[in-house]
């Protein structure tokens, strides 16, 4: 049976996110981008609406509406302000990690605070200056000292790293090379030995912050370990599978905003005596964007549905991420082209959409990494690896 209908709860979450995006996020998006304003107040309001924990159990303060509802909410929010949604996506990922791997004490200490805005947001500290795609090559170390840990090393590209009440930090706990020697830790903001560097001056998502982190003899208690020692890589990969659905949804939302802008511009703007929308060249661009975005939406929701139903979804999450981010990029590029010279200036939103969407082909695993993941699952399925 295939059912494309949304449940009442999914429709309600989607409508709540759509209204918030239209009424609160979208009107501020241009200024947020221009002045690099972090959306702290908006995150608190999203927390109050239950939109920071759409896929988090109610017992821990979430809305418990599932992975499909989460994807739908992300799509709506991203069409209003993409910079705000990256903080939402990472917060959701951190909450899901703690729900899945945290001890009861860790869950009760952090997950409700991530939902109610007390932590503002969460951060995911995996990448390092020398390695992003090859996550298993990270060098930050955590050594057992007494009944705790001492962490040394550095991280790069950490979304909201300067605003988060709690960070998940990956470190090498065994000299064994590669994926097996990694563990994950929960680090509270303000922990002595944690230093936050300068904001990156980014091309897009300028309202979100991205910072490097340094750990200098950062002491962590024994109970900062998340899951079991040595499970870090698996925790990261599982979290990224879910995170990729969030970023794919974000990409779709940006692409849809660009398509809407292009469609209304094409109806208003005249050339050679007629609205642009009457020219077939323009209609084909709009049609291609609409078709590709719809295909992206279905692929992303299918990954979310598999996740929600406890089925393997690694491949579908990667397919959704690579397809949605590339389709949305093309939709933004066409929207800019339809705007002509007006598309190239800050007075219109499409140049921001193009800048914002570009990173969705890079973070949470580049398009190339997604293709590796997809190909490996295929090769395994056909008994080749
Ligand atoms: N779920 C569970 N386990 C997994 C897994 C998954 N999806 N993928 C791999 N594993 C397990 C494997 O089964 C294997 O376990 P065993 O050793 O027990 O067999 C182990 O992990 C190692 O797997 P691989 O050999 O496949 O690992 P690899 O070193 O070849 O790496 C990779 C694979 C796919 C390239 C991975 O490194 C990767 O995804 N890289 C990209 C990292 C990334 O996405 N970074 C984003 C940073 S976060 C971010 O961007 C957030 C933000 O700010 C928005």
Give burial (CB, 10 Å; 0-12/13-18/19+) of 317.
Answer: buried
Is residue 271 scored above 90 in pLDDT? yes
Q: How far apart are CA 99 and CA 107, in angstroms?
A: 6
pLDDT confidence tier of residue 383, bands split at 50, 70 and 90:
confident
185-221, pLDDT tens digit by residue? 999 999 999 999 999 999 999 999 999 999 999 999 9
Residue 208's SS3 state is coil
Average pLDDT over residues 295-324: 98
Query: Residue 10's closest CA among 52, 42, 55, 57?
Result: 55
- Domain 8-121 sits in CATH at 1.10.540.10
How far away, in angstroms, is 62 Cα from ligand 1 center?
A: 27
Q: Name the CATH superfamily housing domain 233-381.
A: Butyryl-CoA Dehydrogenase, subunit A, domain 3 (1.20.140.10)
- Return d(Cα 194, Cα 207) in angstroms, integer: 23
Query: What's the pLDDT band for 175 if we cut at 50, 70, 90?
Result: confident
Q: How far apart are CA 231 and CA 152, in angstroms?
A: 19
Listed in order, the ranges of the chain carrying CATH 1.10.540.10 are 8-121
**DSSP strand pairing (166-172 vs 122-125):** parallel
Measuring from atom 46 of ligand 1, which residue has the nearest CA? 364
Instruction: Report pTM.
Output: 0.97
Mean pLDDT of the chain: 97
CATH 2.40.110.10, the chain: domain bounds: 123-231
In degrees and rounded to multiples of 5, residue 362 shows phi and psi of -115, -55
Residues 203, 207, 212: CA angle, nearest 5 degrees: 70
Nearest CA to ligand 1 atom 3: 234
- The pLDDT tens digits for 79-121 are 999 999 999 999 999 999 999 999 999 999 999 999 999 999 9
Q: What's residue 382's pLDDT?
A: 84
Exposed (0-12), middle (13-18) or buried (19+): which is 208, by Cβ within 10 Å?
Answer: buried
Q: If you classify domain 123-231 with CATH, what class do you get?
A: mainly beta
pLDDT above 70 (res 385): no
Nearest atom in ligand 1 to 210's CA: 53
Q: Nearest residue CA, atom 11 of ligand 1?
A: 234
Name the one residue in this structure whose structure tokens are 């409700």: 112
Q: How far is the CA of 192 from the centre of ligand 1 (A)?
A: 30
* Overall average pLDDT of the 159-185 stretch: 94
Q: Percent of the chain scored above 90 by pLDDT?
A: 96
State yes or no: pLDDT of 287 exceeds 90: yes
Give the residues surrounding ligand 1 with Cβ less than 6 Å away. Answer: 86, 90, 124, 126-127, 132-136, 159, 179, 233-234, 237-238, 240-241, 314, 363-365, 369, 372-373
Residue ranges of the chain that CATH labels 1.20.140.10: 233-381
Whole-number pLDDT of residue 165: 98
Q: State the catalytic residues.
A: 364
């Amino acid at each position: 049976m295939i059912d494309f209908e949304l449940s009442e709860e999914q429709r309600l979450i989607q409508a709540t996110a759509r209204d918030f995006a239209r009424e609160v996020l979208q009107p501020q998006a241009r200024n947020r981008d221009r002045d690099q304003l972090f959306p702290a107040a908006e995150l608190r309001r999203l927390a109050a609406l239950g939109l920071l924990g759409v896929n988090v159990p109610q017992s821990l303060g979430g809305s418990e509406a599932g992975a499909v509802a989460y994807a739908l909410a992300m799509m709506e929010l991203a069409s209003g302000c993409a910079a705000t949604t990256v903080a939402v996506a990472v917060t959701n990922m951190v909450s899901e990690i703690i729900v899945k791997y945290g001890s009861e004490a860790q869950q009760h200490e952090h997950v409700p605070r991530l939902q109610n805005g007390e932590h503002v947001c969460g951060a995911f500290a995996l990448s390092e200056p020398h390695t992003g795609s090859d996550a298993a090559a990270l060098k930050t170390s955590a050594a057992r000292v007494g009944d705790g840990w001492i962490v040394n090393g550095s991280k790069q590209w950490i979304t909201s790293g300067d605003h988060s009440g709690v960070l998940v930090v990956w470190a090498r706990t065994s000299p064994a090379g590669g994926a097996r020697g990694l563990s994950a830790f929960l680090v509270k903001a303000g922990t002595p030995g944690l230093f936050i560097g300068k904001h990156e001056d980014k091309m897009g998502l300028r309202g979100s912050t991205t910072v490097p982190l340094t750990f200098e003899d950062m002491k962590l208690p024994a109970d900062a370990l998340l899951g079991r020692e040595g499970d870090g890589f698996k925790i990261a990969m599982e979290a990224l599978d879910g995170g990729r659905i969030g970023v794919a949804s974000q990409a779709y939302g940006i692409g849809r905003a660009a398509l809407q802008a292009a469609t209304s511009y094409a109806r208003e703007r005249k050339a050679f005596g007629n609205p642009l929308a009457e020219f077939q060249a323009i209609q084909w661009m709009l049609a291609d964007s609409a078709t590709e975005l719809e295909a992206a939406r279905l692929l992303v929701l299918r990954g979310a549905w598999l996740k929600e139903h406890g089925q393997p979804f690694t491949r579908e999450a990667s397919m959704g991420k690579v397809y949605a981010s590339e389709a949305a990029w093309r939709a933004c590029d066409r929207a800019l082209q339809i705007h002509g010279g007006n598309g190239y200036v800050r007075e219109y939103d499409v140049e921001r959409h193009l800048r914002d969407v570009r990173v969705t082909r890079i973070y949470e695993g580049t398009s190339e990494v997604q293709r590796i993941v997809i190909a490996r699952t295929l090769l395994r399925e056909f008994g080749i690896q």
